[in-house]
Amino acid sequence: MTLPKEVEEKLEAVLDEWLENFDVTAKEARDFLNNLGIEPTLETLVGYSVGMLDSLVGGFIHSLYDRGMTPEEDDALVKLIKRKLPELKRKFTTFLREKGY
């Protein structure tokens, strides 16, 4: 089973909107990591963001279908995130450079 069509469409829309409003999300992620004492680097910001997406999608699947994600759904999520990863990395790199990191 791949991600349910409804979930995949919503996730794609959410990822696109998230990338469009990136500065707010990046600042919140940076501040959260700083509060934990973790340096906001490209790797930590990307890892944090991808982890959040995985948790949110897993929670969404659980609330809709009362189950966890299947391995096939996990693979579909990974493929979707990988498509957005180059833009995410580019935006975080620019954000860090502009903020003096």
**What SS3 class is residue 38?**
coil
**pTM here?**
0.83
Rounded Cα distance, 63 and 24, in Å: 27
pLDDT at residue number 1: 53
pLDDT at residue number 60: 83
| Domain around 60 | 5-98
pLDDT at residue number 42: 96
Given a cut of 70, the residues of the chain with pLDDT beneath it are: 1
Rounded Cα distance, 69 and 61, in Å: 7
Q: How many domains are there within the chain?
A: 1
pLDDT at residue number 43: 97
User: DSSP per residue over 46-99, as a string?
Assistant: HHHHHHHHHHHHHHHHHHHHSS---HHHHHHHHHHHHHHHHHHHHHHHHHHHHT
pLDDT at residue number 57: 84
